[in-house]
């Protein structure tokens, strides 16, 4: 999950957390106020074609992560496996399913107004995802694999999750670094949302909530400097990632989650290009929303642990959500060990509500209000009633809740929502001020050129490069 890609030499190539951040950069929910030192700039300005280092970075990560799970699965004979080995298999199947579900939703070509559903060779690529490589795939087969259809990928991921559920049925983990049965249900809920099987998604999200025993974060947990969004301890975290002190991403001092995502540390990239929430998201938050305290939303506001120049130098809308490990701001060897969430129980509540709303808007609205009143603001009222508006409100609250956690991309792409960055009061830098009508073409991630070169089954079947499809609005 955490590795610095030495081959690329990109300071943004620090593992799964970097991929999560890429997805958020492709929305309109997050920005960095300048381009200097910003290694994620290419994604922000829509310059990540098949020959780009950015396309290579994303592909490299998933290729290596899936290979690792395949190696583990292939090393164990399921027919002779001990109970402990079956638990290892369950964990591996869950990780492989998560990675393929990510890739499927990122690389699947969905219709948009700015590119046509054809490769540069004229082949129809609608709903094509990525090639499926398993522990049984030979090198010669890899070079011929075609992009799986949505249905093929759904069935493959479901089969992995079914095995994971079987092998993890009685698994008692000792750390949230590894998935358990509740996480498998959560992945199944995500899978069902992707293919728009909303009745099943609602059922699985509820199973994940019940199985996990997790409870949504309190305001105190959100704002905890030492054990908030930097530790695996919070009550709502179902699954998380955290590097060790000897991991290369930590020893680099710069190429890690904390460096890029925590504005409070003093040694990393966020010190130069702070991470900020967009004004449009803040302006639509409810008045007493405790989540607003995770951001600097007013010049007169202060927080107890930051004062003077440390507070003043943070720009308006700067994030305070992701903190350095143990609250340490100046020692990179400690601070860079921050944990970050892969799945929180709050996501399951929002999946349940949205899935219900697609079937019965009144029920979805009721579930949203119940969650918000109990956990976020007792005075919250959802003031819309028709299906599309209720779904949009649920997704908005989910975007606020999971800001920076790499999940909003999937909802925006699935629901064909527009991305709006150019408006009165925007803080996006000029080169990335794009407004789209419906899902952006750039959300159909382009497969790296090296994969086309090395795989005859993919050659000529790539997504169209969206790089020249949009002009910044001044």
Per-residue model confidence as pLDDT tens digits over 295-309 = 998 766 667 667 666
Q: What is the rounded distance in angstroms from the CA atom of residue 452 to the CA atom of residue 459?
A: 4
Q: Domains of the chain, with CATH numbers?
A: 45-171+418-474 (1.25.40.890)
> Over the stretch 346-369, which tens digit does the pLDDT of each residue have?
999 999 999 999 999 999 999 999
d(CA 402, CA 286): 16
Give the H or E element holding residue 340: strand 340-344
- Sign of the alpha-carbon torsion through 119, 123, 126, 132: negative
CA distance 106 to 409: 9
The answer, yes or no, to whether residue 447 has pLDDT greater than 90, is yes
Question: Region 39-65: what's the mean pLDDT?
Answer: 97
Predicted local distance difference test score (pLDDT) of residue 300: 63
Please tell me the predicted confidence (pLDDT) of residue 313.
Answer: 85
Q: Are 13 and 405 in contact (CB under 8 A)?
A: no
pLDDT class of 7 with cuts at 50, 70, 90: confident
**Mean pLDDT for the stretch of residues 183-189:** 99
**For the whole model, what pTM was predicted?**
0.97
Alpha helices for 76-171 (secondary structure H): 83-107, 139-142, 150-167
pLDDT at 417 over 90: yes
CA dist., res. 275 & res. 93, Å (int): 34
Which CA distances in Å does 228 have to 130, 175, 454? 36, 17, 44
Segment 213-235, tens digit of pLDDT: 999 999 999 999 999 999 999 99
Residue 471 · residue 114 · CB < 8 Å: no
Structure tokens at 329: 């701001």
Q: Is the pLDDT of residue 21 over 90?
A: yes
Q: Which of 315, 3, 295, 221 is nearest to 230 (CA)?
A: 221
Classified as helix, coil or strand, 186 is helix
Residue in the block written with tokens 């709006």: 420
């Amino acid at each position: 999950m955490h590795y610095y890609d030495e081959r690329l030499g990109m300071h943004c190539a620090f593992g799964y957390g970097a991929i999560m951040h890429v997805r958020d950069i492709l929305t309109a929910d997050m920005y960095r106020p300048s381009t200097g030192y910003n290694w994620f700039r290419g994604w922000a300005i829509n310059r990540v074609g098949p020959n780009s280092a950015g396309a290579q970075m994303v592909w490299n990560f998933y290729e290596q992560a899936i290979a690792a799970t395949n190696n583990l699965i292939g090393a164990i004979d399921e027919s002779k496996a001990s109970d402990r080995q079956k638990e290892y298999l369950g964990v591996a199947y869950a990780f492989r399913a998560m990675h393929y579900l990510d890739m499927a939703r990122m690389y699947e070509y969905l219709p948009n107004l700015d590119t046509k559903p054809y490769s540069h060779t004229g082949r129809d690529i609608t709903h094509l995802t990525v090639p499926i490589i398993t522990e049984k795939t030979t090198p010669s087969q890899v070079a011929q694999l075609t992009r799986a259809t949505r249905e093929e990928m759904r069935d493959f991921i479901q089969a992995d999750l079914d095995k994971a559920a079987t092998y993890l049925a009685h698994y008692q983990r000792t750390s949230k670094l590894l998935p358990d049965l509740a996480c498998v249900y959560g992945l199944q809920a995500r899978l069902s949302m992707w293919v728009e099987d909303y009745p099943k998604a609602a059922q699985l999200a509820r199973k994940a909530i019940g199985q996990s025993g997790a409870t949504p974060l309190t305001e105190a947990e959100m704002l905890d400097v030492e054990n908030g969004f930097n530790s695996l301890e919070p009550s709502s975290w179902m699954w998380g990632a955290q590097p060790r002190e000897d991991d290369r991403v930590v020893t680099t001092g710069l190429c890690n989650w904390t460096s890029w995502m925590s504005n409070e540390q003093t040694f990393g990239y966020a010190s130069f290009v702070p991470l900020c929430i967009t004004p449009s998201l803040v302006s639509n938050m409810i008045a007493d929303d405790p989540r607003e305290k995770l951001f600097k939303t007013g010049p007169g506001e202060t927080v107890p642990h930051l004062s003077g120049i440390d507070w003043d130098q943070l720009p308006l809308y700067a994030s305070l959500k992701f903190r350095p490990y143990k609250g340490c701001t100046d020692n990179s060897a400690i601070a860079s060990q921050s944990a970050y969430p892969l799945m929180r129980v709050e996501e399951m509540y929002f999946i349940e509500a949205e899935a219900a709303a697609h079937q019965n808007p009144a029920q979805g609205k009721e579930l949203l209000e119940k969650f918000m009143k109990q956990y976020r603001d007792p005075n919250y009222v959802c003031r819309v009633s028709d299906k599309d508006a209720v779904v949009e409100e649920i997704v908005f609250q989910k975007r606020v809740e999971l800001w920076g956690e790499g999940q909003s991309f999937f909802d925006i792409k699935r629901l064909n929502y527009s991305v709006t960055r150019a408006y009165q009061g925007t803080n996006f830098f000029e080169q990335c001020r794009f407004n789209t009508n419906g899902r952006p073409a750039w959300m159909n991630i382009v497969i790296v050129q090296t994969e086309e070169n090395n795989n005859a089954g993919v050659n000529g079947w790539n997504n169209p490069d969206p790089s020249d499809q949009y002009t910044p609005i001044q």
